[in-house]
């Protein structure tokens, strides 16, 4: 009988991603509770409004494990969430000096939009003799320079200072070999290539340089094998230079192309960009212990657009969705997280931030029954968060459950006695419940605690 999974070379060979007997496939399908695509009347809440794809962790992030994240801008979201959860994130620990400080959020230097720009930085950081040095710094005239591996910023510093800064950056990048866990986020496959240096760039070369040397730079769209080769190069570099076992989480950024350089609709170009990387990852995972795929891309792109995106566009992922994604990462991967979260199983667990985010998203969609159900499943956690309690009270009121709404408001008042809104809503709820005597008592308390809120008291003319 053939094994459960073929061990392909992961180098674009003709092996199958998987090959098992028909009997084994049937047996496994019967045991897979998540094999059928959700429908409105069955498991629909697993897809809409917020998709919740499952993952199968092959490793755990220990309590004291350090983390290094690299890749597109979505990796910065991952870093911030993990840091907020108390994890030590090495890719946010750096000192880049005056040049780094002059350019604002230095973490943006770590944004790598194509697989080859990631491979370049890892190779140069771990094998410093391969770094091109001054050849990588493009002159822009008038004492200005550009490094197309780091971004579009014009560097108005002496070349020696820029090179010293560049080596500090690579020192920070070298921590990818010492971190316990590496997180890699893939961005785009529309890339730029410097034929003179023989390397891929992270961002387009500056226009003055294109005009000066029109045949030097090429625009390239990566193929499946290009992406796979890049992934394997990074993996081989990490394994070669690490002294501890590699634990690696790979994902595809849900952030779409802003625009395309291809002669086609950006919607079509973006679909190729994401799907070819997503496909390559499945082959990349073959035979690599401790390397997992996490479905961030699916979380966002399968969810209701009304809650998936922020900033009034369809490109920047909502912080609330990021909270939900990272909640799943924490609960699935972080050792002991399920104990910290009231003993809930990973499939049922949720972090406090993610619970609050979910409630906000459902409020936007006016899905009041979903709010009531979700809060009910996480009662203990919800009772310690006044904003969740207020949202629950509002949802219960909209569901004509005024008595239950009143109870939620009482909890909100107890959870935040220094905030006027919970008490004011509790007073207002006394009216439909015909509890005028209690409302008068609460009004006395309101005047004592919040004397400056007389506008509210003036509006309660029904007393």
Question: What pLDDT, on the 0 to 100 scale, is given for residue 103?
Answer: 64
CB neighbours of residue 26 within 10 Å: 10
Lowest mean pLDDT among 305-319, 340-354, 416-430, 432-446: 340-354
Question: What pLDDT, on the 0 to 100 scale, is given for residue 11?
Answer: 47
Question: What pLDDT, on the 0 to 100 scale, is given for residue 106?
Answer: 52
Range list for CATH 1.25.40.10 in the chain: 366-463
Confidence of residue 55 (pLDDT cuts 50, 70, 90): confident
Confidence of residue 108 (pLDDT cuts 50, 70, 90): low
CA distance 374 to 82: 24
Which CATH code, of 1.25.40.10, 3.40.50.150, 3.30.565.10, 1.10.10.10, is assigned to 366-463?
1.25.40.10
Confidence of residue 39 (pLDDT cuts 50, 70, 90): very high
Give the tens place of pLDDT for each residue, 314-327: 888 888 888 888 88
CA distance 317 to 307: 9
Question: What pLDDT, on the 0 to 100 scale, is given for residue 307?
Answer: 83
Please compute the mean of the pLDDT values over residues 412-430 and round it to a whole number.
Answer: 95
Question: What pLDDT, on the 0 to 100 scale, is given for residue 72?
Answer: 85
Architecture of domain 54-303: 3-Layer(aba) Sandwich (3.40)
Question: What pLDDT, on the 0 to 100 scale, is given for residue 280?
Answer: 97
Range list for CATH 3.40.50 in the chain: 54-303
Question: What pLDDT, on the 0 to 100 scale, is given for residue 345?
Answer: 36
**Strand partners for 251:** 185
Confidence of residue 347 (pLDDT cuts 50, 70, 90): very low
Say whether pLDDT at 346 is over 50: no
Question: What pLDDT, on the 0 to 100 scale, is given for residue 343?
Answer: 37
Question: What pLDDT, on the 0 to 100 scale, is given for residue 459?
Answer: 92
CB 322 within 8 A of CB 303: no
Across all residues in the chain, what is the average pLDDT? 88
Please compute the mean of the pLDDT values over residues 434-449 and round it to a whole number.
Answer: 94
Give the tens place of pLDDT for each residue, 23-36: 999 999 999 999 99
pLDDT above 70 coverage of the chain, percent: 92
Question: What pLDDT, on the 0 to 100 scale, is given for residue 434?
Answer: 94
Say whether pLDDT at 390 is over 60: yes
């Amino acid at each position: 009988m053939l094994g459960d999974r073929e061990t392909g070379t992961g180098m674009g060979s003709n092996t199958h991603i998987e090959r098992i007997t028909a009997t084994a496939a049937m047996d496994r399908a019967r045991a897979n509770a998540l094999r059928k695509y959700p429908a409105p009347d069955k498991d629909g809440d697993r897809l809409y409004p917020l998709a919740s794809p499952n993952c199968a962790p092959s490793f755990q992030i220990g309590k004291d494990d350090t983390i290094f994240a690299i890749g597109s801008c979505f990796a910065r979201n991952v870093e911030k969430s993990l840091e907020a959860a108390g994890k030590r994130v090495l890719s946010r620990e750096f000192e880049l000096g005056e040049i780094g400080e002059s350019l604002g959020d230095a973490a943006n230097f770590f944004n790598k939009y194509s697989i080859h720009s990631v491979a370049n930085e890892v190779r140069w950081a771990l094998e410093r003799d391969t770094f091109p040095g001054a050849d990588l710094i493009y002159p822009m005239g008038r004492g200005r320079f550009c490094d197309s591996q780091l971004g579009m910023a014009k560097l108005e510093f002496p070349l020696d200072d820029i090179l010293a800064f560049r080596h500090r950056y690579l020192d920070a990048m070298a921590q990818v070999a010492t971190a316990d866990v590496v997180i890699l986020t893939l961005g785009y496959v529309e890339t730029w290539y410097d034929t003179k240096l023989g390397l891929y760039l992270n961002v387009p070369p500056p226009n003055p340089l294109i005009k000066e040397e029109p045949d030097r730079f090429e625009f390239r769209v990566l193929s499946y094998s290009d992406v796979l080769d890049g992934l394997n190069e990074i993996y081989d570099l990490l394994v070669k230079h690490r002294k501890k076992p590699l634990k690696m989480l790979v994902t595809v950024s849900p952030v779409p192309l802003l625009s395309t350089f291809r002669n086609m609709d950006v919607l079509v170009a973006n679909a190729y960009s994401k799907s070819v990387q997503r496909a390559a990852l499945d082959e990349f995972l073959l035979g690599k212990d401790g390397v997992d795929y996490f479905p961030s891309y699916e979380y966002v792109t399968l969810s209701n657009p009304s809650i998936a995106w922020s900033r009034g566009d369809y490109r920047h992922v909502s912080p609330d969705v990021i909270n939900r994604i990272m909640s799943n990462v924490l609960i699935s991967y972080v050792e002991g997280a399920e104990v910290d979260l009231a003993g809930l199983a990973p499939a049922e667990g949720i972090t406090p931030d993610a619970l609050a985010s979910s409630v906000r998203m459902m409020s936007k969609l006016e899905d009041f029954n979903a709010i009531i159900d979700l809060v009910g499943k996480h009662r203990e956690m919800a009772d310690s968060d006044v904003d969740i309690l207020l949202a629950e009270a509002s949802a219960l009121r909209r569901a004509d459950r005024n008595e239950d709404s009143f109870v939620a408001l009482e909890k909100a008042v107890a959870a935040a006695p220094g905030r006027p809104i919970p008490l004011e809503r509790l007073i207002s709820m006394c009216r439909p419940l015909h509890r005028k005597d209690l409302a008068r008592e609460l009004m006395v308390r309101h005047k004592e605690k919040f004397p400056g809120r007389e506008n509210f008291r003036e509006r309660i003319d029904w007393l």
